[in-house]
Every structure is written in C-alpha cells, then in structure tokens.
Structure 1
C-alpha cells in the first residue's frame, strides 16, 4: 500500500512540476507591468546587448532600452550617438560622469536643462542613445518609476534639436 502512495505522489509531482516551472516569477511579472506602463506613457521598450562601456555596471548580457520616438522630426545624424555613465567624474567628460562613446566628440556644451536632467537620472540609467528611432535610455529597470523616467526625455530631445541634429519630417509635415 505505501509503495502505491509513493507512485501516486511521484506521478502528481511529474505533472505539476513542469506546470509550476512555466509560471512567471515575481520579477517577470514586475517587468511586464513596467513595460506595459511604458507603452501607456508613450515609450517603447526593447532588449539590447550590453555595450562594452557598461560592462562594469552589470554582469547580464542584455539590458532594457526604453525609447521615446521622434514624432514630427527626423534625426539627421549619420550614426547612433551613445552617452554613457562612467565610473568617475572628470573635466574631459561631456558632463560630470557622462561621456560620449569612444570615437565621438561633441564640441558643444550641454545646456542647463540637459545638465540638470543628466544629474537627476537615477543610477540605474546607464546610457542615453540618440538614433534615427528616437532617444533611448539604457535602464536596469529599477530605482525609479516609468513615469519618472518619462520626465527626462523632453530635455534630452530639446538638446538634440538645439544641436541642429533634427529636421522636420516632410512625410508628416502639413
């Protein structure tokens, strides 16, 4: 009789085990909520490989990028620009701990709104990407809310426009 009970318990475990493994973890549910909230705030999220410059901040091979797209503008730059958080502040950096990816030099100084926004970004935001798609923030998905993250995009996008890197998109212009 006891061996029959053992077999029944093993059979139940064999059926329930894989089902329980497929159930999303608490962190997976939290990430799904964050990404849904991003969509509601006009942001798109994607997963990207961690750039080599950020290797000291995370051991993970990928990182989330929350992106605000250009709506009525078009980025005229020839390459994607990346502004990285460095481990230390230095005068030769673009601003404080923020510096451009290797090989990129920007001669203009950051404006006050951009400086304040870069200084206010939570430590979990590791990079700012400026591309034909829009402005993206490389974020560890912790340390602030999506709503707070959304508040940083206008100053960065205005700075890009001030640098003359945007033009009116003729397809959407009336």
Structure 2
C-alpha cells in the first residue's frame, strides 16, 4: 500500500469521524443532564431564567438554571417574593448577604425557616423565590450531586411549612 493512499485514507476517516465527535455532549453537559434528571425524578422542574438586575450589576444577568418545586394542593406563597444573594454584605440585607427583590416578602414563618436554612446552601445558589406556583432555587449547578441533594432538601422543607398557620399570620398582620 502506498504511503499517500494511507495518508488520504486517514484524512477521509478524520473528516468523517471529527464532526461526529463534535456532536457528543461534553463532560459538563453530561453532568448538567445528570443533575437535571435527578431533580426531575424528585418532582422538581428545571428551567433557565434570568435574575433581576442588581444595582451593582454592570450588565444584565445571564440566564441560570432555576430548580422549582411545584406547590401542592394549598398553593405557594402569596404575594410572591425573591431573595437574591448580594455581591456584598450589608446590615440591611436579610442575614447580611441576601436582598429582597420587589415588594413581596416571605411570611414570618418562612423567614424564620429561611434564617436557619439559607446558610446551609452552597455559594453557587444565587437566589431563592416563592410564588403561588411553588418555590425556586436559582443555582449555577456547581457542586454536583452533593450540592443538588442539599438543594432538594431545602426545597422539600417549604412543603413541610404549615400553610394554614402562614395564611393566618398574614390575615392577622
């Protein structure tokens, strides 16, 4: 076999196999798919959403994965609320590092629960939110399965908060 025939044959194989290799998901994409599939198995919905723009943001925030636990029969919190991890610590922020977005606030019971649970979330969690449809964690997906398990536990905790007592707190307040 002529050396040039071998070179041409290898070139043709590379031209066929190369593009096929590019179609394979990267290791990062496979990890993301694994995380999202695990969350889906637990009843969590995953979508890409943009966080609200902060005063310290130089440009509009990019979209990040939001892991949402749908509300059960009683619905989620009303009015809707969102806490975003601030770029700096300040005494006016919730727990020093979290800032409320918009006019909505979590109920007193939810705030008490959040005060105990937010410090356990990984730094890769950028925001938490609640609305009538459920509760969300905006997470950059860093930390792998271990971080996901903590986030799943965090989201499950909202469903264990007694809804009737929360609504009574709002009516009295």
Question: If the TM-score is normalised by the length of the shorter chain, which range does it land in?
Answer: 0.7 to 0.9
Return the TM-score normalized by structure 1. 0.76
TM, length-normalised to structure 2 = 0.77
CA-to-aligned-CA distance 1:110-134 (integer Å, 9 cap, x gap): 6432201112111111101212321
The aligned residue for residue 89 of structure 2 is 89
Q: Unaligned 5+ residue runs, structure 1? A: 166-174
Matching residue of 1:172: none
Per-residue CA deviations over 1:97-146 (Å, capped at 9, x if unaligned) read: 11111x42649656432201112111111101212321010001123432
Cα displacement (A) at 1:36: 1.2
Q: Give the Cα separation in 1 of the matches to 2:163 and 2:85.
A: 18
Residues 21-170 of structure 1: matches in 2 within 5 Å? 21-53=22-54, 61-75=62-76, 77=78, 80-101=80-101, 103-104=102-103, 106=105, 111-143=111-143, 144-156=146-158, 158=161, 163-164=166-167
- Structure 2: give runs of 5+ residues left out of the alignment: 169-173
- 1 or 2, which has the higher helix percentage? 2
- Partner Cα distance (1:154, 1:71) in 2: 11
Quick one: structure 1 residues 96 and 104, their matched pair in 2 at CA, closer, same or farther if it must change by over 3 Å? same
SS at match of 1:164: helix
* Count of aligned pairs: 161
Cα contact 1:85–1:99 (8 A) shared by 2 = yes
Deviates more, 1:132-141 or 1:147-156: 147-156
Q: Deviations over 1:35-74 (max 9, x none)?
A: 1111222212111234423986xx9832111110001122
Distance in 2, Cα, partners of 1:20 & 1:54:
43
The aligned counterpart of 2:20 is: 19
Q: Per the alignment, do residues 138 and 76 of structure 1 end up closer, same or farther by CA in structure 2, a change over 3 Å counting?
A: closer
**Residues 75 and 60 of structure 1: is their aligned pair in 2 closer, same or farther, counting only changes over 3 Å?**
closer
Distance 1:132 1:15 in 2: 52
* 3-state secondary structure, aligned to 2:67: strand
Kept in 1, the 8 Å contact 2:82–2:104? The answer is no
